[in-house]
Structure 1
Amino acid sequence: MTDYLSVNRANWDERAAVHAASPEYGLARFAADPAFLSDTVRFDRPRLGSLDGQRVVHLQCHIGHDTLSLARLGAASVIGLDFSGPALEVARQFVAGTPNIRFVQSDVYGARAALDGDFDLVYTGVGALNWLPDINRWARTVRSLLRPGGRLHIREGHPVLWSLDYDRDDDLLALHTTYFEQPAPLVIDEQYTYVTTDHRFQATVTHEWNHGLGEIVTALLEAGLTITTLIEHQSVPWNALPGKMRELDDGEWQLIDHPERLPHSYTLQAVV
């Protein structure tokens, strides 16, 4: 196993301030409108429902925009967990004055040891699972955090989307990288991130893994959860294929040419 935590943490530590200042995250909108929700949480609000009185943990929370959105849906308490200290510094400043939110620094696999008690909801947002090498260990961690009757909610980029060749100049969609989880990571070296910025990164290398949808479902079933929702969407909340996608009215992005041929993202819910 590579030292993926140190490699990826260096990259995400550097991303924190860049993302906080970006128009895509738009953190000022949350202060301007007390009812404002992040795009990802707003997209799945009908499936999330009211969180009144619930105890929520948001795994891989980054700078906390989804975390605050969950609190605004009525949760009694929300804990955001992330492995990046700089990201959590931004998050704490961002939600300052919101009493029912706190942040804990830990990697995902250490979440059970880092947190006290059980939760009504484990939430994971977009662009999270690809940083984890072992989907079965993730599923067991999720199960360990949930009370009896508690649920998991995840919205994530589809593993087919992660498998595509992003650098093609033609209109073909070619599967280029692995769809199924592999022991070795996909090593990526890029000097930019997914938001608008002139910043060029020093910590450019990341280690990532794909996980097939069947692998994810099976891991949760074997961990003792029951799948209650699995919806594949024809949109994703970022411009995943630049030059090949158009922005929709709700802020989602969709393939311009025959979007029905590609699962862009999915929402999954499971209960104990």
Structure 2
Amino acid sequence: MADYRTVNRANWDERAPAHAASPDYEVERFATDPTFLSAVVRFDRPRLGDLTGLRGVHLQCHIGTDTVSLARLGARMTGLDFSGASLAQAREVARRADADVDFVEADVYDAAEVLDAGGFDLVYTGIGALCWLPGIARWAEVVGRLLRPGGRLFVREGHPVLWAVDESRADRALALEYPYFERPEPTVWDEGGTYVSTDHVFTQNVTHEWNHGLGEIVTAVLGAGMRVTGLVEHDSIPWNGLPGQLTRGDDQEWRLVDRPERLPMSYTLQAVREAR
């Protein structure tokens, strides 16, 4: 089997320009409105609190719209991603937004080697990041190494129950078809298209992905020397993750049309690194 990083990087490299050009990422708004924030960051604005002067790193930052948004809230941000094509778009987004953000190309597992270990007040991870990683405990260890004592981890992510649901069922039943718990072997997908509106036809369509149960994530964070300070499960996600079953609200989040209380769609996790 090909190395998962090589396969997944090819997928992201091809999609990055299409994502930046898609209206769903609203890149033009960053250029024309100096107060504009990404929908993901806006959703968690009350939980993020005051970021003024904090030194932050956004792991797996993709094209940097969340990274720039955090910088606009006052943090001194660095974005890290393993896709050079994604970072090329991120640097252009930051330039057009007049945001002072550094971007570093590296695998997330190497972040503590290429960045200032122990020097960050905030480690941020956004929607759709953790599913690309084969081991959540290794990721949490990296986060713990990046944070200074008292520094904060902030995660907004798709819920592992959502990742386990079969979105293709014609009867629209909420069936758990795919792994909920982390396992050594990936789920291998071969799918065209992407999660934003675009007419582009892609050729790099294979991905290797892993799910991580919520208990596994919390346990990994605790094991890496952090104390969980908040865990909120949400009935919504910022993209149409179950086509034909969701409706978009005034907050730009998507929820089940039928009894949204049935399914946790995403969560926000916060933790603080303890003094060692």
TM-score tier after normalising by the smaller chain length: over 0.9
SS in 2 for 1:24: helix
Gaps of 5+ in 2: none
Q: Distance in 2 between matches of 1:246 and 1:135?
A: 31
- Deviation, 1:181, is 0.3
Contact 2:61 / 2:80 at 8 angstroms: preserved in 1?
Answer: yes
Q: Tell me the amino acid that sits aligned with residue 95 of structure 1.
A: A
Q: Distance in 2 between matches of 1:127 and 1:35?
A: 25
Partner of residue 228, structure 1? 229
Q: Tell me the amino acid that sits aligned with residue 92 of structure 1.
A: R
Q: Distance in 2 between matches of 1:99 and 1:206?
A: 32
Q: Distance in 1 between matches of 2:138 and 2:236?
A: 28
Partner of residue 156, structure 2? 155
Partner of residue 170, structure 1? 171
Partner of residue 90, structure 1? 89
Q: Distance in 2 between matches of 1:263 and 1:173?
A: 12
Does 2:56 align with 1:78?
Answer: no
SS in 1 for 2:24: coil
Distance 1:253 1:154, change over 3 A: same
- Deviation, 1:99, is 5.5
Q: Distance in 1 between matches of 2:216 and 2:94?
A: 35
Partner of residue 37, structure 1? 37
Does 2:49 align with 1:58?
Answer: no
Write the mapping of 1:109-124 to structure 2, written as runs, cut at 5 A.
109-117=109-117, 118-124=119-125
TM-score, length of structure 1 as denominator length = 0.98
In the alignment of these two chains, the number of paired residues is 271
Partner of residue 269, structure 2? 268
1:106-126: CA deviations, max 9, x gaps? 011000111125100000000
Contact 2:240 / 2:254 at 8 angstroms: preserved in 1?
Answer: yes
Write the mapping of 1:117-132 to structure 2, written as runs, cut at 5 A.
117=117, 118-132=119-133
Gaps of 5+ in 1: none
Identity of aligned residues (%): 65
TM-score, length of structure 2 as denominator length = 0.96
- Deviation, 1:171, is 3.0
Contact 2:94 / 2:100 at 8 angstroms: preserved in 1?
Answer: no
